[in-house]
Amino acid sequence: GAVVSQHPSWVICKSGTSVKIECRSLDFQATTMFWYRQFPKQSLMLMATSNEGSKATYEQGVEKDKFLINHASLTLSTLTVTSAHPEDSSFYICSARDLAGVGSRFFGPGTRLTVL
Amino acid sequence: DAKTTQPNSMESNEEEPVHLPCNHSTISGTDYIHWYRQLPSQGPEYVIHGLTSNVNNRMASLAIAEDRKSSTLILHRATLRDAAVYYCILKLGGSQGNLIFGKGTKLSVKP
């Protein structure tokens, strides 16, 4: 099946710094990528939807200036957590939909962010 | 998005079949029923999806009620590697709609 990778798989940073997470579709072109956040023992929460070459669409309650999303190519989307704080510590997961737009989505392995 | 209801947790014995139920009484005619699972510290993994007819693939079977208000994911022989949280999600067909995750069912498999 289609493969989605994320980098890094885990990151620890100091409060106030910015962290960039990459999401790549390895064997298909993704017109749309989705970013989720998952706190411990909770379900995934959709943060935003990004389409290649256009601005991301953020879910209600998600600060677009804090979570910067760039989808510059059909195989790469990045999420930058700006001025991270301990409450931003979470498991960030991306998902991609291929050009064919089939119903199933492919998920990355996730990035564990810990902000000290 | 239409809501789904699943039991919080279920237990199974290894090598026995597992039936994971999902209620979706407000499903609309254009909603597909998707199942994903998430192993600990990993991203979700697609399991199966269907619209009206029962579906089978190498991972599982999906049984959909005639009125489509409920469905059941069937793992024919549970293994220890099947221990995960299973999510039942309704989504518009094709490229439309987002995958909105509920709480899912945490499946434990005992050796």
Q: Does B32 touch chain A (CB under 8 A)?
A: yes
Task: Tell the residue number behind the tokens 């601005």, with chain if given.
Answer: A55
pLDDT top residue among A32 and B19? B19
Q: Which of A24, A105, A111 should be substituted to probe chain B, the one whose Cβ sees the most B Cβ atoms within 10 Å?
A: A105
**In terms of DSSP bridges, do strands A90-98 and A111-115 run parallel, antiparallel, or are they unpaired?**
antiparallel
Which amino acid, residue A23? Answer: C
CB A6 within 8 A of CB A110: yes
Highest mean pLDDT among A25-34, B59-68, B91-100: B59-68
* Backbone angle region of A106, left / alpha / beta, with phi > 0 → left and psi within -120 to 50 → alpha: beta
Residue A72 is predicted with a pLDDT of 83
Q: Does A113 touch chain B (CB under 8 A)?
A: no
Residue B98 is predicted with a pLDDT of 82
Compute φ and ψ for A53, nearest 5 degrees. Answer: 80, 5
Retrieve residue A27's tokens: 């064997």
Whether the pLDDT of residue B96 is over 80: the answer is no
pLDDT top residue among B92 and B83? B83
Q: Does A40 touch chain B (CB under 8 A)?
A: no
Q: Which residues contact A32 (CB under 8 A, 6 or more apart)?
A: A49, A50, A51, A52, A96, A97, B95
CB B56 within 8 A of CB B47: no
Least confident of B7-11, B31-35, B62-66: B31-35
- Following DSSP, what letter does each residue of B14-61 receive, concatenated? TTS-EEEEEE-TT--TTEEEEEEEE-TTS--EEEEEESSS-EE-SS-E
Whether the pLDDT of residue B38 is over 60: the answer is yes
Per-residue pLDDT of chain A (116 residues; tens, 9 = 90+): 678 999 999 999 999 999 999 999 998 888 889 999 999 999 999 999 998 888 899 999 999 999 999 998 989 999 999 999 999 999 999 999 876 655 568 999 999 999 99
Distance CA B84, CA B46 (A): 12
pLDDT top residue among B30 and A100? B30
Distance CA A15, CA B83 (A): 35
Residue A53 is predicted with a pLDDT of 83
Distance CA B88, CA B48 (A): 10
Q: Answer yes or no: do B42 and A109 touch at CB < 8 A.
A: yes
Distance from CA of A41 to the nearest CA of B (A): 9
Compute φ and ψ for B94, nearest 5 degrees. Answer: 65, -140
DSSP label at B80? G
pLDDT top residue among B74 and A106? B74
- What average pLDDT score do residues B6-10 get? 97
